[in-house]
Amino acid sequence: MPMPTPRSSLKAVLIASTLITAGVAGTTLPPTAARAEVPMQGYADLVARVSPAVVFIEVTAKSKEPTPMAGSPLEEFLRRFGEIDPQFRMPEAPEGGQVMHGLGSGFLISQDGVIVTNNHVVENATDMKVKLEDGREFKAEVVGTDPMTDIAVIRLKDAKDLPFVELGDSEKLRVGDAVVAVGNPFGLGGTVTSGIVSAMGRNINSGPYDDYIQTDAAINRGNSGGPLFDTEGKVVGMNTAIFSPSGGSVGIGFSIPANTVKDVVAQLQEKGSVSRGWLGVTVQGMTPEIAQAMGLEGRDGALVAEVQQGSPADEGGLESGDVITAVNGQELTERASLPRLIAAIPNGEKARLTVQRDGREQEITVTIGELTPHRAQVAAAESPEGLGGPLGIEVQPLEPALARQLGLPEGASGVVVTAVDPSGPNADRLAPGDVIQEAAGRPVETPRDLASAMREARGKGVMLMKVLRQGNPVYVGAEVTAS
């Protein structure tokens, strides 16, 4: 069973979204930067050229779930990231949900009224009205949505000869490039802000395909779905989220790269949905302790914690404990790179995985499957920071009755952590209820097995463990000190 995606540590991240009136929340991304210097005369000519293609979207939707902090700037963040503290919970919505209204942004990419926006702007919409800069209004319908990347395509009814903008190449963006955002913050209408690209490839843990552009251009609620332009007037990003302890812009915004938008929009226009490659593994990141224990210091990659039975990974020969370091020759700079690379490979195509196994590098070829709603993508296993030693824990054998109490499958083996020294080196790494199944590459069925593995690992200073945590396998790098 795959581990859930780790919750974002950015508890103050605010999805700068649709402006909420009765509760529809949205999110906003920061724009990406351009390759030219800021012109001395400003951006007036650029804005005059591109702003007619930026639209403002009014949505009527029906809520299907209770809405935390209805009307609050934190509402969409709490809904999307799940960081809902008890004091933020609201009473349940009336049976059947409640009608909600919101405003967001979008941009035209064709003369006949095709618009790109955020999925959360139009999610559960029962009615959509789109307003252009020149005052014209149109009804709109959804062409397709992709919640995994928060991208949606809608189409205006009875529209023709409309202004539109072109999607640029976000791969050419550099940190420091100038960018311009145009949108509908707080329902005020066409608003222009400018800034630079602050960072690339940001992962805010909103989903498996995080790859955001960070910008300091001011983004606020209602900017969601709006374009981020470079200085040539090309759309290089779509504004989606901001980090904001206050609820307003503090100069940290996130935008979906234009290249991601292009790929998703093409599929949505063609078939109304998005197809992605599927590997079928649960992975976790490489901590320094784990890398040291495996003899892979200085290497990045995705550590395979579990291989789903019958998956392409299983059929291709991947094993628990393998470290995937590259896909088709493209090196993984972090665990989060793997889902994006696998998703881009079509169903049925072969992928060449570079894998570290037992200290040796080898290549494994797998035939990629198709991700469906009932299949888990490359799943992220919560990665502990590492263990200390001597272990500073109390363990007991995993008796059948205890295994049932912990919800483990019949026949599960290992030793159960029953106590952790709060002042010991493992206090923030192991927890009561963890089941240690392997240590230093050897199976652990009794406390004596664990003690033996620990003695052998003292010379190395670290020991790799495989642990069942709430039924999910994770690897832990244990620091073992002499004592």
Q: Tens digits of per-residue pLDDT, 298-322? A: 778 888 877 888 899 999 999 988 9
Higher pLDDT, 411 or 30: 411
Residue 292 CA to residue 474 CA, distance in Å, equals 16
Encode pLDDT of 253-280 as tens digits.
899 999 999 999 999 999 888 888 999 8
pLDDT above 70 coverage of the chain, percent: 73
Is the predicted pLDDT of residue 27 greater than 70, yes or no? Answer: no
Per-residue burial over 315-333, b if 16 or more Cβ lie within 10 Å, else e, is: ebebeebbbbbbbeeeebe
Per-residue pLDDT at 52: 95
Higher pLDDT, 83 or 481: 481
Residues that are catalytic? 120, 150, 224
- Where do the domains of the chain lie, and which CATH numbers do they carry? 9-273 (2.40.10.120), 277-380 (2.30.42.10), 393-479 (2.30.42.10)
pLDDT bracket for residue 48 (50, 70, 90): very high
Q: Minimal CA–CA distance to 102: which of 31, 5, 184, 192?
A: 184
Encode pLDDT of 151-208 as tens digits.
999 999 988 899 999 999 999 999 999 999 998 887 777 889 999 999 998 877 666 7
What is the mean pLDDT of the segment spanning 274-288? 83
Per-residue pLDDT at 95: 44
Is the predicted pLDDT of residue 78 greater than 60, yes or no? Answer: no
Q: How many CA atoms lie within 13 A of 192 on its CB side?
A: 17
Is the predicted pLDDT of residue 1 greater than 70, yes or no? Answer: no
pLDDT bracket for residue 115 (50, 70, 90): very high
pLDDT bracket for residue 366 (50, 70, 90): very high
What is the mean pLDDT of the segment spanning 212-237? 91
Residue 313 CA to residue 367 CA, distance in Å, equals 8
Instruction: Look over the chain and give the mean of its residue pLDDT values, rounded to a whole number.
Output: 77
Q: For residue 181, list its beta bridge partners.
A: 193, 228
Residue 133 CA to residue 226 CA, distance in Å, equals 13
pTM flag (> 0.75): no
Higher pLDDT, 409 or 99: 409
Residue 415 CA to residue 150 CA, distance in Å, equals 42
Residue 413 CA to residue 123 CA, distance in Å, equals 45
pLDDT bracket for residue 419 (50, 70, 90): confident
Per-residue pLDDT at 70: 42
Is the predicted pLDDT of residue 239 greater than 80, yes or no? Answer: yes
